[in-house]
Amino acid sequence: MSSDHRVRNIFIQGAISSGFIGEKIADHAAKKNIGGHSIFLGQVRADLKEDKEVTGIEYTSYEEMALEKMHEIRQAIFAKYELTCMHVYHSLGLVSVGEISLFVFASSVHRAPAIEACREVVERIKKELPVWGKELLSDHSHVWKENRN
Amino acid sequence: MSSDHRVRNIFIQGAISSGFIGEKIADHAAKKNIGGHSIFLGQVRADLKEDKEVTGIEYTSYEEMALEKMHEIRQAIFAKYELTCMHVYHSLGLVSVGEISLFVFASSVHRAPAIEACREVVERIKKELPVWGKELLSDHSHVWKENRN
Amino acid sequence: MSSIKISVLFFGQITDYTLVNRIELNDFKDTDTVLHYLKTMFPRLKESPYQLALDKEIIHENTLLTSHHTVALLPPYAGG
Amino acid sequence: MSSIKISVLFFGQITDYTLVNRIELNDFKDTDTVLHYLKTMFPRLKESPYQLALDKEIIHENTLLTSHHTVALLPPYAGG
């Protein structure tokens, strides 16, 4: 089911809404062996870049490669942690400041595997997925997002 | 605001709904310096106890003491981690299998403080808050929940 | 000498045999005396794990009581 | 000898000066020859950090090309 061999899509056009996140949480009420969920949400910040405020990020990806890589990460995480399920969503296109662009959701019987897996997946996504973010500035210029370690 | 000295209530009567969680996430769209949210959700499992299935947990607490303790934990966490804000909700009364009884929500500019603070708060809540759970079994008997480390 | 009036609170599995959440006691000078009395009243307390709180602070030693003190018997926590 | 036809994909900040996301090239025998050509066409590539992927796999050495190969120039990732 959750740890199957199918390559899944993770990309969502535009921001990930809080309603969507709430629905995904509700979907797990039927999984009666889950004891803990760990969720990470990445939100777009109004950083100052070259003295101008970031108003949003336009995400692009080498989608085919990203989905294959994500599949590989997923397989590795399921091999390493005893998870009930895991879901990953990443935005493409424009996400405005204050909106959510990354949603990682791991669940397990006891809490530790969900918490550790969620954290590791976030780190791997940021390091290993071919995704780029064009930070749009208040004067309509742009800079390219750089990830911190 | 978030790191103030007021003792806040954390208790919610009954289960914590996915709609409530979605709303709390949406509330943070206005905080434009947040880059990462880390969320932990505790969900009631249909464990087998004495060969009978758990159908729900009835939570009770020494509320006054729990709120003081939670306030102390909160102050320590804000002193240790650079957080934008943190929210904690715990159920009292009946929470059925598949429903959520604990919601910890930490946010920060960069992801690491939110992730580490969320995890530490969950561990401290389970160890340090005077809360008890009566696990109701399918034959109307009960056992008392014991936390694993 | 005026009477010392204290409250005793029971929680979790302890209420399975105390059947009440709270009792009021008069004229117990310290927490050891209270515990001794409670163990007579509720023999299962002798096999139950619990911590003692005095006015919401965990105590590990016998402590003198004054009026309006609240003693609480706290079985192992199980929140979350 | 039949012609070798490959695609080259550009991403992120590299597209600021390539202005296109994709070009098709004919008769380049290996990835070094492609890179040499691209650096002539887009001099800013010489100062840009990137990794090279051949058919979605990162490569670190010069690699022979055959038709339908896809070469991608990937600047540092910035997902999340």
Is the confidence at residue A129, as pLDDT, over 50? yes
Residue B140: per-residue pLDDT: 94
Residue A148: per-residue pLDDT: 76
- pLDDT bin (cut points 50, 70, 90) of residue B4 is low
State the best of A16, A18, A127 to mutate against chain B, taking most chain B CBs within 10 Å. Answer: A18
pLDDT tens, residue by residue, A88-120: 999 999 999 999 999 999 999 999 999 999 999
Q: Is A46 exposed, middle or buried (0-12, 13-18, 19+ CB in 10 A)?
A: middle
Per-residue tokens: A25: 């949480």
Beta-bridge mates of residue A58 = A94, A134
Residues 6+ apart with CB under 8 A from A95: A14, A15, A44, A56, A57, A58, A59, A101
**Mean pLDDT across chain A:** 95
At residue C21, what are phi and psi to the nearest 5 degrees?
A: -95, -15
Residue A4: per-residue pLDDT: 60
Give dist(CA A70, CA A77) in Å, integer.
10
| Residues of A whose CB is below 8 A from D13 | 132, 144
- pLDDT bin (cut points 50, 70, 90) of residue B6 is confident
Q: What is the least distance, in Å, from the CA of A100 to any CA of chain B?
A: 8
Kindly compute the dihedral angle of the four CA atoms of residues C33, C34, C37, C41, in this order, to the nearest 10 degrees.
-170
CB A94 within 8 A of CB A42: no
pLDDT tens, residue by residue, C65-80: 999 999 999 999 999 9
The minimal CB distance from B37 to the residues A43, A110, A119 is found for A43
**Is D47 an 8 Å CB contact of chain A?**
no
Is the confidence at residue B1, as pLDDT, over 50? no
The pTM of this model reads 0.96
Helix (H) / strand (E) element for B71: namely: helix B63-80
Give dist(CA C74, CA C52) in Å, integer.
6
pLDDT tens, residue by residue, D23-67: 999 999 999 999 999 999 999 999 999 999 999 999 999 999 999
pLDDT tens, residue by residue, A19-64: 999 999 999 999 999 999 999 999 999 999 989 999 999 999 999 9
Residue A1: per-residue pLDDT: 42
Residue B148: CB atoms within 10 Å: 8
Closest CA to A57 of A66, A68, A67, A49: A49
| Residues of C whose CB is below 8 A from B122 | 80
Percent of chain B whose pLDDT exceeds 90: 93
In this structure, of B2-6, B8-12, C54-58, the range with the lowest mean pLDDT score is B2-6
Three-state secondary structure string covering chain A: CCCCCCCCCCEEECCECHHHHHHHHHHHHHCCCCCEEEEEEEECCCCEECCEEEEEEEEEECHHHHHHHHHHHHHHHHHHCCCCEEEEEEEEEEEECCCEEEEEEEEECCHHHHHHHHHHHHHHHHHHCCEEEEEEECCCCEEECCCCC
Crossing angle of the two packed helices B111-128 and B63-80, in degrees rounded to 10 = 150
> Taking CB atoms and an 8 Å limit, are D12 and A147 in contact across chains?
no
- pLDDT bin (cut points 50, 70, 90) of residue B148 is confident
pLDDT tens, residue by residue, B13-53: 999 999 999 999 999 999 999 999 999 999 999 999 989 99
Q: Angle at CA B79, nearest 5°, toward A45 and A149?
A: 45
Percent of chain C whose pLDDT exceeds 90: 96
Q: What is the least distance, in Å, from the CA of D76 to any CA of chain A?
A: 8
